[in-house]
Chain A
Amino acid sequence: MTTLMAILIGTFYAAAIYMMLRRSVVKLVIGLILLSNAANLLIFTVAGLERGIPPLIPKGQDVIAGAAADPLAQAVILTSIVIGFGVLAFAVVLIHRACEVVQTDDMNEMKGTD
Chain B
Amino acid sequence: MKPRRFNMRSLILNTGSTLLLPLLVLFSLFLLLRGHDEPGGGFIGGLVAAAAVALKLFAEDYKAARDMLRVHPLQLVGVGLVLAALASLPALLVGQSFFTAQWWLVDLPIFGELKLSTPLLFDIGVFLGVIGTVLTVVFTLAEAEHS
Instruction: Give A residues with C-beta under 8 Å from B.
Output: 82, 86, 89-90, 93, 96-97, 100
A89 and B54 alpha carbons, distance in the complex (Å): 15
A90 and B138 alpha carbons, distance in the complex (Å): 11
A87 and B134 alpha carbons, distance in the complex (Å): 12
A90 and B134 alpha carbons, distance in the complex (Å): 10
Residues of chain B in range 13-51 having any CB-CB distance to chain A below 8 Å: 43
Q: Chain A residues near B43 (CB, 8 Å)? A: 82
Q: From residue A101, how far is it (CB to closest CB) to chain B in Å?
A: 12
Q: Does any Cβ of A come within 8 Å of B96's Cβ?
A: no
A93 touching B133, Cβ below 8 Å: no
A1 and B134 alpha carbons, distance in the complex (Å): 36
Q: Does any Cβ of A come within 8 Å of B1's Cβ?
A: no
Q: Chain B residues near A100 (CB, 8 Å)? A: 144
Q: Does any Cβ of A come within 8 Å of B75's Cβ?
A: no
Q: Chain B residues near A89 (CB, 8 Å)? A: 134, 137
Q: Does any Cβ of A come within 8 Å of B140's Cβ?
A: yes
Those 7 A-B pairs whose CB atoms lie nearest each other, nearest first: A89-B137, A93-B140, A93-B137, A93-B141, A96-B144, A86-B133, A82-B43
For chain B, the bracket of interface size reads: under 10
**Residue with the greatest number of chain B CB neighbours at <10 A, chosen from A89, A90, A96, A97:** A89
Q: From residue A84, how far is it (CB to closest CB) to chain B in Å?
A: 14
- Nearest opposing residue in chain B for A59, CB measure: B37
Q: Chain B residues near A96 (CB, 8 Å)? A: 141, 144
A-B contact pairs, 12 of them (CB 8 A): A82-B43, A86-B133, A89-B134, A89-B137, A90-B137, A93-B137, A93-B140, A93-B141, A96-B141, A96-B144, A97-B144, A100-B144
Q: From residue A76, how far is it (CB to closest CB) to chain B in Å?
A: 15
- Nearest opposing residue in chain B for A90, CB measure: B137
Q: Chain A residues near B140 (CB, 8 Å)? A: 93
Q: Chain A residues near B133 (CB, 8 Å)? A: 86
A89 and B133 alpha carbons, distance in the complex (Å): 10
A82 and B126 alpha carbons, distance in the complex (Å): 12
A97 and B141 alpha carbons, distance in the complex (Å): 9
- Nearest opposing residue in chain A for B141, CB measure: A93
Q: From residue B85, how far is it (CB to closest CB) to chain A in Å?
A: 18
A12 and B137 alpha carbons, distance in the complex (Å): 27
Interface flags, B39-68, vs A, CB<8A=1, else 0:
000010000000000000000000000000
